[in-house]
Homo-oligomer: A and B are copies of this chain.
């Protein structure tokens, strides 16, 4: 029943060459004559031979595995990143080993990654602890913090310009004539939230305004809904809200429209951040800031490939431009 696994030895025997010749025929930069390679490939095809990546990793230390750590996939930003990242890596002969983590067992998970001898790590979940970052650096495994950063860490990072993005939104809302502008934060300890909030406040300050009210949604759907209710419990209501990401903004819009019976944008403006696909859907038409996911992926790949090839890790930080995407969820400047 079970077909015995076919090895390079089998191919060698059929092609009447040595096992080394087979091995060399399957690596690009090896010294083999054209016709032995042809013989080998022919025999390999006949037997259905494929090099065993595991065995190859064993000897060469190259597993061609990139670990990707993610906390959740319900915010569409991450699935899209994973899809693009995976495609880009596949094109380069690498593959994505996926790890899900709820903050807490992160150390354990990173240990598991090391166990798989991954050649690189992309962290798209809460930033890893500093001890782990150091450990990875020591082992020589490049680490890229995706959409987040830790200034003191030896890990590289790729982000969009969240500060500028926040500023753009503040300017846009001010120009729209809003006077009571509120903010709903994501996770307060995340760099994205810090930067978006800081940029937003700076933008407000440049126009002589300050934030009218503030609540925390922790980047969760329910958290954002609760935050929206809280903001509207006060006597004087805000006339605009910047929600720290699109995923939360949808929840906020639902509460405003369905529970509080407010019209968006006539009664209140809402803006988000990320420009996930749903933001463009008719049900929301969300004005937001686009994170250039394709550029961010490119930067990530570049950092990983470079450090893997040069076998030396060094901290790199890529910050890519953010772009304001104007739709219908916020009043337009007159």
Binding site for B on A (CB under 8 A): 1-3, 5, 48, 50-55, 57-58, 63, 65, 68, 72-74, 76, 78-80, 82-83, 86-87, 90, 95-100, 111-112, 114-117, 135, 138-140, 221, 250-251, 253-254, 257-258, 277-278, 281-284, 311-312
Contacts and interface: CB of A to CB of B under 8 A. Distances in A.
Contact of A53 (B1, B3, B116): B116
A196 B72 CA distance: 30
- Which are the 3 A-B pairs with shortest beta-carbon distances? A283-B283, A254-B282, A79-B79
Contact of A257 (B115, B138, B282): B282
Contacts of A58: 54-55, 58
A126 to B, nearest CB: 16
A83 B72 contact: yes
A74 to B, nearest CB: 6
Nearest to A51: B115
Contact of A283 (B1, B117, B281): B281
Given A73-B80, A221-B277, 4 more contacts: A2-B139, A3-B139, A74-B277, A82-B98
Contacts of A73: 79-80, 82-83
A63 B87 CA distance: 23
B138 A3 contact: yes
Given A79-B73, A115-B51, A283 B57 contact: no
9 contacts: A5-B139, A73-B79, A74-B79, A74-B80, A76-B79, A83-B100, A95-B116, A254-B281, A257-B282
A100 B96 CA distance: 10
A138 B1 CA distance: 6
A250 B284 CA distance: 11
Contacts of A95: 97-99, 112, 116
Nearest to A3: B138
Given A51-B115, A281-B254, A138 B2 contact: yes
Nearest to A113: B95
Contacts of A258: 282
A68 B86 CA distance: 12
A140 B4 CA distance: 10
A115 to B, nearest CB: 5
Contacts of A114: 50
B100 A98 contact: no
Contacts of A96: 97-98
B63 A54 contact: yes
Quick one: which of A138, A250, A281 has the most chain B CB within 10 A?
Answer: A281
Q: Name, among A53, A80, A111, the residue most crowded by chain B CB atoms within 10 Å (CB to CB).
A: A53
Nearest to A70: B83
A136 B133 CA distance: 39
Contact of A54 (B3, B51, B57, B79): B57
Among A99, A116, A284, the most chain B Cβ lie within 10 Å of the Cβ of A116
A99 B86 contact: yes
Nearest to A98: B96
